[in-house]
Chains A and B, each alone.
Chain A
Amino acid sequence: MGYLHLRSSPVSSVLPVLALRGIRKAYPGVVALDGVDLDLCAGEVHVLLGENGAGKSTLMKIISGAVARDAGEIRIDGAPVELADPRQAQALGIGIIYQEFNLVPQLSAAENIFLGREPLRLPGVIDQRRLLRDAQRQLDELGVAIDARAIVSRLSVAEQQMVEVAKALSLHARVLIMDEPTSALTAQEITELFAAIRRLRERGVAIVYISHRMEELFAIGDRVTVLRDGRHVGTRRIQETDMAELVRLMVGRELKDQFPKQRAAVGDEVLRVERLRRDGVLHDISFALRRGEVVGLAGLMGSGRTELARALFGADAIDGGRVFVHGAERRIGSPRAAIDLGLGFLTEDRKQQGLVLVLSVRENICLPSVGRWSRAGLVQTGRETDATARRIAELRIKTPGPEQRVGHLSGGNQQKVVLGKWLCTDADILIFDEPTRGIDVGAKVEIYQLINQLAARGAAILMISSELPEILGLSDRILVMHAGRIAGEFSAAEATQEKLLAAALGRN
């Protein structure tokens, strides 16, 4: 029953439980992983480190069977295996705990732990006593005080996480992947989580621990592997490394010549934000944007960058602070109001928020302007067609025509359609949230050039990006957010990846 490993030595054994060799995975337009090796030993906490987009998530999905690799080998106890789907990975003893839990909130902890594998008394009749007893034993072994009968929705986030862990262990997991397990926990809960992790380690479970928080990995990790741009750049024993080396490994890529930065003349202030606040999300945010300026907004996921953009654009309410547009104080209560003041917002997720995929290129490009352009209550089709033709030419949107459905275009071209919307409204304060996410390199360079052109025409641009090279390559000035605050401001001249990352991690 897989309990054998409990008696094996808790210290790293010679043969790794799980070994990855030359793992490669490519998506259209981007190589997510390229030749990645990784050894996991029984009884170690192996930290996986890397910037956003370094390939951590893809690697975890491959190990947990959610994504198929293109090339490479996976060995468990030295024997090559295929991991075709999550069920198979589970059967081989690989468990994963995502940031978003996979629990049914209305059911009890015990029912969740054995969901789909309930012990039966008769065919079709659940053995409630055994269910409770076994679930309680799993929870007790973790050293957590959770009643197996408790309804999951009434448990705290930390307790729910422990139910997930118990569920994985009830499946005899020997490899447990934890993706940002502390992101929603309090300091006290983190201490308890670490205690539970140490108990698992003593039982010989190999733990893959993904976190952005550098201080945590020194507290809990045994070894650390750094990924960068889908490649394995180094594995270190925690005792033999330090923060400086790890940061260097994470960001150590050279700035490529893909950022055709042209500095525009910086003019008047067009937007000023003073002590902006959205309770629990944004705290004391102050900054200004000037004509012709590209201001980069860096920060880790969840640091409040997108929330700031949405609040500025009137999509989310603010609880305090003042916003000045072109020198006059304004209350921006809705996106419509923001657009009328000359703001434009290129959203992070173009399919969910940026485009109406079932409508045409023309209908999407003209959507913010159609009301303003109408005469006597009628859509000016001629004007729309002209404007769309101009955007298609200007942005080099590859489409069979203006009536093509946007859903049929490639990612880069879809992004240009979103840009086209804001060109039509003559927006001069543009917020770009991850403008190059998920688009290929060629289209990226085109987007960069458009950003330059817009700045040259006198627009002020706030560019949110998780790609530090992009931020460094395009910005005149850089703001860094951490935990809902502006944690640092750098001029283009003084900024480095190390400084930005340190600020984003809240370490200055």
Chain B
Amino acid sequence: MADESESKLEPPAPGSLASARRPAGSGPTQTPPPGDRPLHQRLGSGLAHHARQFGTLGGLVVLGLVLWILTPHFLTVSNLLNIAQQTSINAIIAVGLTFVIISAGIDLSVGSLVAFSGVVMASLLQRDVPLPLALAAGLLTGLVCGLINGVLITLGRLPPFIATLGMMSVARGGALLYTDGRPISGFGEGFRWLATGEVLFVPVPVILTGVVYVIAHFVLRRTPFGRYVFAIGGNEEAALLSGVRVRLHKTMVYGVCGLLSALAGVVLTARLNSAQPIAGINYELDAIAATVIGGTSLMGGQGSVVGTLIGALIMGVLRNGLNLLGVSSFVQQLVIGAVIILAVLLDTAFKRRKP
């Protein structure tokens, strides 16, 4: 036994050391510089990033073509702007849900937050509180409720489904209690401009939606916060061990979602010229559908607001087209449900082929 111990104490012989290092010497040639890689590889990484969105966009274009052939009214400027305006509320909420779903969470409370922040703002407007203050209060209501969701999930360790399911009911109840169940109607022109106004023939809600999407895309792709949202959704443990303050950023994600729900509530109130405590029921389902059609994975870590915008437009175009074709609302529900399933089926099949 002693002999063996001694033999193990010897440091590796110089000769063996050299041979062990040989792979290192030949190293620099192993990874060719980027310029040497075949063109398809260099393009591949960039394209793959957007391939999913091209697919969804293709679906939108095909849908548009079919509707154009079936009904000439579809492809008119006024109808397209109409679609954009009708889509804007779902599209704004869906941005918030895209953040949440990329972080591997879910938020069921968005529809109730639309109503709750709407009635809070409306009640202030009716008491002649200045418009900016009332707007801020409405948005703050959504933000705070969202942050509460986030704290329940991070500090309270509740599953997102449960925390936001609770908030869905609490915020709805809050809205009903606050208004005694009655809508608050009739606002000044200044506020209604948010829904009825136009800038260079483009409706204000469409402009608002555009601004939200540009900012959201920028935040997701160009800020550390956006990077953390993807990292938390992709692998929360790895993100934590890489120094990401997971609890802080997760809470912020739900705050963003609540804030955007409130913004949608503002636009909805302005459009209807009325804030209703029962507004926004089932909005969470439309927003989840738009997000999922847009290619954001419910498993987290993957997705984009560009995809979500296309997803929201697909749903808007479909509704509009079916209306133009005089299809009953019962059939519409059925078709939209089928489209959601088909979109995700295709997505799954696509991902399975390219592991």
Contacts and interface: CB of A to CB of B under 8 A. Distances in A.
Contacts of B20: 257-260, 445
A352 B237 contact: yes
Contacts of A371: 224, 243
Contacts of B21: 260, 445, 449
B76 interface: no
A248 B4 contact: yes
A356 B239 contact: yes
Contacts of A258: 20
A392 interface: yes
Given A254-B7, A335-B240, A336-B244, A244 B1 contact: yes
A345 B226 CA distance: 24
Interface centre among B17, B37, B234, B239 (most CB of A within 10 A): B234
Contacts of B5: 496, 498-499
Contact of A353 (B30, B221, B238): B238
Interface in A343-375: 345, 347, 352-360, 363, 366-368, 370-371, 374
B45 A404 contact: yes
Contacts of B9: 493, 496
Interface in A319-351: 334-336, 338-340, 345, 347
Interface string A169-189: 000000000000000000000
Interface centre among A261, A359, A379 (most CB of B within 10 A): A359
Contacts of A392: 31
B6 to A, nearest CB: 8
A403 interface: yes
Contact of B16 (A257, A340, A393, A498): A257
B15 to A, nearest CB: 8
A252 interface: yes
A378 B222 CA distance: 6
Interface stretch (A270-278, A394-402, A458-466): A394-402
A356 B241 contact: no
B28 A393 contact: yes
A237 B234 CA distance: 52
Contact of A356 (B23, B224, B235): B235
A266 B253 CA distance: 46
Contacts of A345: 241
A354 B238 contact: yes
B227 A396 contact: no
A354 B241 contact: yes
A336 B27 contact: no
A259 B12 contact: yes
Contacts of A196: none
Contact of A315 (B1, B240, B301): B240
B200 interface: no
Contact of A255 (B12, B31, B42): B12
B45 A353 contact: no
A431 to B, nearest CB: 11
A261 B49 contact: no
B19 interface: yes
B223 interface: yes
Contacts of B13: 257
Interface centre among A356, A367, A397, A496 (most CB of B within 10 A): A356
B45 A401 contact: yes
Contacts of B34: 389, 401
Given A335-B240, A335-B243, A356 B234 contact: yes
Nearest to A258: B20
Nearest to A255: B8
A442 B23 contact: yes
16 contacts: A261-B12, A335-B243, A336-B243, A357-B234, A359-B230, A367-B243, A367-B244, A371-B224, A379-B226, A393-B28, A396-B30, A399-B31, A400-B45, A401-B45, A404-B45, A442-B23
Given A315-B240, A403-B49, 14 more contacts: A252-B4, A260-B21, A335-B242, A339-B243, A355-B238, A363-B227, A367-B243, A370-B227, A371-B243, A397-B31, A401-B42, A403-B45, A445-B20, A445-B23
List 6 A-B pairs, minimum CB-CB distance, nearest first: A257-B16, A356-B234, A403-B45, A339-B243, A358-B301, A496-B5
